[in-house]
Amino acid sequence: MASPINSKSAREKLKPRREPYWSRIQTGLYVGYRKPEEGDGTWIARRRADDGKQQYHALGTFADYDQAVKAATQWANALDAGVSAKGMTVKQACKHYVSHLSLHKGKASASDAEGRFRRLVDDAPLGRIDLAKLRTSDLTAWLSKQVELDEDDAEDEEDLRRAKDSANRNLASLKAALNLAMKDRLVATDAGWKTVSKFRDVGRRRNAFLPLHQRTALVEACPEDLQRLVKAMLLTAARPGELANANAQHFDRDQGTLALEGKTGYRVVTLSTAAMAFFDECAKNKIGNAPILATDFGQRWNKDMWKKPFREAAKTAKLPTTAVLYSLRHTAISEMIADGMDSFIVAKLAGTSTAMIDEHYGHLRHDKTRARLDAVALL
């Protein structure tokens, strides 16, 4: 006997009701069609478990009967393979992964992943999606949203590159969580995320290095207040935001140090003799919480204030179009490494890791070492 739901015309003749119209696929396995008062109908699968209890699974909407049968069969086969019959959301999969990390990798790894998921998954629409219904487009949209920077809010290519690099790390953590869910048979397939690719060429070595003649031209092209910020970056290799946050009280004349606080926390950096003289001049007639570097109007610097003046100065100095304020930090680190400073010391001064120094500036150390090797008669 023909099923009342195996053709579109047959389904259209059905009376709307909450209870699905069922069609047997094979022994113990059925696919059902729920006819609503209006709109598209939905499909559901049903099977009898080994313990005799009925198991149900919402399949969603399909254009035809055969697609619903295929989905129901895949669900049943996944259960036979050991996949959990209970649905799991992306958020729950992330919690499952954090527990796994805590047990096998330690608290630090678990805390890092937990923080990413709390910021980007837990309260996002993505977090509420059932793993079995997760689509590639859901994950792609989630990834793209992380780099939706307004052009005026990004430090040109450098900000966008860093945003993409960060998004790649977030994607790696999420895919690790989803892959663990599949490994632990909490979902039948990885089709929803397997083909989602990370952003390419965003972890590459920085290339906006400014040689001495360009640095000199830039300083001369800057208005006096921006000139002080530019010089401070070149003398310390600090991030611009860290210098903008620094107060007069953070400069210790006796010790020759400057306390900075930013994305990597609080640190006290040693200043060169030239830097000590520079900050001593900047701190004149300033006390307490007064910004040690300020605009001509006495305001604390921020990205919106330095962006346009820097672009104009860079254009006047005929710098490469890739040059941004952050390029000065890269330039200072490059010069320190090229001059033979130990990467551990440079990392402490710049507020970064030795791994980052070796990854992005190691080539400079090799060049320096090669020059020294060339001076040694080995053969």
Please tell me the predicted confidence (pLDDT) of residue 106.
87
- Tokens found for residue 305: 């204030």
pTM over 0.85: no
Q: pLDDT tens-digit profile of 175-224?
A: 999 999 888 878 878 888 999 999 887 765 455 789 999 999 999 999 99
Q: Which residue has the tokens 């208005």?
A: 223
- 59-71 b/e with 16+ CB inside 10 Å = b? beebeebeebbeb
Burial classification of residue 321, based on how many CB atoms lie within 10 Å of its CB (0-12 exposed, 13-18 middle, 19 or more buried): exposed
- Tokens found for residue 185: 């048979």
- Tokens found for residue 319: 């710098």
DSSP state of 83: -
Please tell me the predicted confidence (pLDDT) of residue 30.
95
Give the chain's residues under pLDDT 70: 1-3, 83, 85, 149-159, 203-207, 364-365, 367-368
Residue 257 three-state SS: strand
**Domain 212-374 coded CATH 1.25.40.10:** no
Please tell me the predicted confidence (pLDDT) of residue 132.
84
- Beta strand 257-262 with 251-252 is antiparallel
Residue 281 three-state SS: helix
Residue 116 three-state SS: helix
Other beta carbons within 10 Å of 121: 23
Q: pLDDT tens-digit profile of 94-107?
A: 999 999 999 888 88
**Residue 235: CB partners within 8 Å, gap ≥ 6?**
271, 272, 274, 275, 278, 332
Please tell me the predicted confidence (pLDDT) of residue 203.
61
> Do 146 and 109 form a contact (C-beta atoms < 8 A)?
no
Please tell me the predicted confidence (pLDDT) of residue 316.
97
Nearest to 143 by CA among 189, 108, 190, 193: 193
Please tell me the predicted confidence (pLDDT) of residue 232.
97
Q: pLDDT tens-digit profile of 126-179?
A: 999 999 889 999 999 999 998 875 433 444 455 677 788 889 999 999 999 999
What's the CATH number of domain 8-80, 3.40.50, 3.30.420, 2.40.30, 3.30.160?
3.30.160
- Beta strand 265-270 with 257-262 is antiparallel
Nearest to 127 by CA among 139, 144, 112: 139
